[in-house]
Amino acid sequence: MVRSSCLLLLVALLATVYSKDYFVEKFEDESYKSRWVQSTAKPDLGEFKLSHGKFYGDAKKDLGLQTSQDARFYGISAKFDSFSNEGKTLVIQFTVKHEQKIDCGGGYVKVYPGDVDQAGLTGDSVYNIMFGPDICGYSTKKVHVIFTYKGKNLLIKKDIKCKDDELTHLYTLILNPDNTYEVRIDNEKVESGKLEEDWDFTAPKRIPDPNAKKPSDWVDTEKIDDPTDSKPDDWEKPEHIADPEAKKPEDWDDEIDGTWEPPMIDNPEYKGVWKARQIDNPAYKGPWVHPEIDNPEYVEDANLYLFKDIGAIGFDLWQVKSGTIFDNIIITDSVQRAEEFGNETWGKTKDPEKKMKDAQDEEDRKKEEEERKKKEADDLKKKPADEDSDAEDNKAPHADDEL
Ligand SMILES: *[C@@H]1O[C@H](CO)[C@@H](O)[C@H](O)[C@H]1NC(C)=O
């Protein structure tokens, strides 16, 4: 027991010591501008600013890259020494904070080959992996995991829900050399599986045999009428009968009112349509299963996880309502290292951030309450004098909380 936990500790230590960070960015001051290249591919791309936002856990640590203009495309990227993830785990991790109550906009990163044209970065720039949250309206609230494979962008077939609140969240993608993956949000696993199963990298391994057909004499009716069962002689009874309790009204005149007929009622003896008892069909063979064959179009690839040239990361986004803050980026070969980095950054500031936000929300609530009361009092005073000056009152007082 002691030995094995010592061993675990040692393994953990070694993982940290021998892990490799390919890229780390904490956006702690304006020096990021020397590492990141703003795209000039379009004249009206949105501007990124360094900001910790309206509420934060630590004024310096929580500085991040914030989108600052509504309804714009954004494009910015940073290069690092190009590497291949051959035989190694690849971890891509960063934080996203949609403090603006985002209605529609991307919150993902793209990881590019080393030769990406940074000044010319657009949505058409070829990337290796796109990962992170994407929100648009009520219907799209998902985490994208897209791989570029043989020139095609392959979307994950599973639906991974993203966070849609205003706090900072940690997104982690883990890609393993055994062709498995895991997605974590706030250090908790939200999805995992095999690359081959969750993306359409290639045609499926097995397909229904196109030459197989259900035999025409295949019996898949499980139950049949019992041939020994027959309708009882006294079964047939009319569904409705004349009400035996009804009496012809005394003032009924056949000559004027026509022949009197009693009203009809449901017959209590009516048994419905007769159906034979059901028994197991002796000829039943079970449901027919379409036999499968190996798909001749299937191409085996033991290296679905592999990207031979990873050399840049960037934000290529569209945002309707700006204000998203990206921070704490790490690309590394160790899950342990990414977790530690996440703990040191997001882990330290998330609680104080929430505390500040809660305090601000409470402040706003109080202000609104006061204004509502003041307005009610004013209305009461005004009322007898001029009753139809409502138009002005409809303008709700609203103080925008600028930083
Ligand atoms: C990160 O923090 C969590 C929660 O405090 C802890 O359980 C986990 O062991 C930490 N991970 C590392 C690698 O330090």
* Annotated binding-site residue? 266: no
Is 70 exceeded by the pLDDT of residue 254?
yes
- pLDDT over 70, % of the chain: 91
* Annotated binding-site residue? 108: yes
Is 70 exceeded by the pLDDT of residue 396?
no
Is 70 exceeded by the pLDDT of residue 217?
yes
The 10s digit of each residue's pLDDT in 4-53 is 677 666 666 665 668 999 999 999 999 999 999 999 999 999 999 999 99
* 309 CB-contact burial (10 Å; exposed 0-12 / middle 13-18 / buried 19+): middle
Mean model confidence pLDDT for the chain: 92
For the chain, the structural domain boundaries read 16-204+302-356
pLDDT, mean of residues 107-121: 98
Is the CB–ligand 1 distance for residue 15 below 6 Å? no
* Annotated binding-site residue? 161: no
Least confident of 100-109, 155-164, 240-249, 341-350: 240-249
Q: Which atom of ligand 1 is nearest to the CA of 12?
A: 13
pLDDT, mean of residues 247-275: 89
Atom 3 in ligand 1: which residue has the minimum CA distance?
Answer: 343
| pLDDT confidence bin for 3, thresholds 50/70/90 | low
Is the CB–ligand 1 distance for residue 341 below 6 Å? no
Is the CB–ligand 1 distance for residue 191 below 6 Å? no
pLDDT, mean of residues 341-359: 98
Instruction: Report the candidate in 117, 146, 174 with the shortest Cα–Cα distance to residue 330.
Output: 174
Q: Which residues neighbour 168 within 8 Å (Cβ) at sequence distance 6 or greater?
A: 62, 95, 96, 97, 325, 327, 346, 349, 350, 353
Question: Would you tell me which CATH number, out of the four given (2.60.40.10, 2.60.120.200, 3.40.50.300, 3.40.50.720), belongs to the domain 16-204+302-356?
Answer: 2.60.120.200
pLDDT of residue 401: 47
Whole-number Å distance, alpha carbon 334 to ligand 1 midpoint, is 14
Is 90 exceeded by the pLDDT of residue 389?
no
* Annotated binding-site residue? 134: yes
Provide the whole-model pTM: 0.76
Atom 4 in ligand 1: which residue has the minimum CA distance?
Answer: 343
